[in-house]
Structure 1
């Protein structure tokens, strides 16, 4: 179901239409600043990521969308492959956003970054036991790992990154052994993996960092208590680095307000917007000259995988096949 503010197809020079997979509370304050600074009205539609992409595809040339914001490079790649985006040539975006966090052809740009590290139960797991994603397939972790299902794009992108690093044969063997270490049948979202570990169902959880930040800041005591029982381990620090991903933005193929669409994305890449956007979503700024929040700083520095995130989309289909063959439900 989509929740929306009033939206009207427009070629008015002072409007732009935004379809966002980010909830209204997590994006509207910063786009209101954009409107105040530029005089450009932003008409906002919010909804589930996959539903919004399907809507843009279904609307075709009649789409109202000028800008599409969604989570995960795998979804951004799907949008590009569906031929519903157009390339943007912008020195502002190319200079602000690292090359690996944007599409090589300019079809989409990362706006905030998250990592998908290993979370472990304090006092149960010795962090010296941990090293890499690959090592989680070791039999010593049998019945000790909580992770969500294989139909989740975050896990698909993690496996896609491993395909790029290790190749098909090694990744398949890893997946075959990794599923043997699941403490339970995959279920729920990332928060549920952290809660499962904190409640003793497993010792290790795989989740995105922003969920951990949200749980630590949650007013619900059970969420906060679960997160406080866990610690972060940054895997693969001696080789490629921890798997990272982005939420990002693109200009749609049939945008009616392309100039304003580009202005909006460029604004979201400014220092001011990066600071707010990353803090509000418990994510890391994509700009190297903007520091993360104090909470994220408290988790320590880490080496991030520098693979161009477009490869996560390229490798997605094979990643899904590998997970299916391994019995990762």
Structure 2
């Protein structure tokens, strides 16, 4: 039951289907399905109430096998986008607030079981946008990373902690001036150094929150490389935790396959070829092979 009305588009006009506060039952849904209606509408003034309703019920919706997986995938992306956009578009983001962490934590908990399903990545893939925004990028990296985590012998708790780190890996970019983040053309040396501060900013924004070291490592080290040329600490080899290597590869792949202010999106095969041929010293090639297998299984490549 939500505090919003549901409308249908019929005969060139919007027609009320259920009123605010009225329970939207299985019978309502079956009637829509039998009538061939695939889209319903809410008023713009009631959008916030609709979004709250979806967020509160996300776990139940994602695991509802009576709903088409494509519909659940769309809802997953819409709900996650609303929460992350709220985090990244805030003014003066000196710290991540506890209420934001609570919302993000629920997103991670509710979506991991959904993303563990065999066909979930292929169902989610059509909703992956090629228009770069920090919050959509974080969502993509989370999806790719969780798909990879599932191929390793990780506990449910570990997948949650690393998944939270993946979703928040770029939270520190909320403190980077937008004129630098959205700059068209190459960055100056000084601008690149400012960008490279975002992992440390991310950890400082989360310092007061109850996060495990596993989650913090993902935020702090996701730009570290196996050859030690990364930042902020220049750690290398076995000192780069395996989950961080997974997030790092997912991060690189999504950046390459997304339109950015200074570069057009590559096709998946083109991006993977570049990683294999030009970044062999930076990324874990065993993780890379698993990543290719996961993407192939989802028919993304």
Q: TM-score range by the shorter chain?
A: under 0.3
**Larger relative helix fraction:** 2
TM-score (norm 2): 0.27
TM-score (norm 1): 0.25
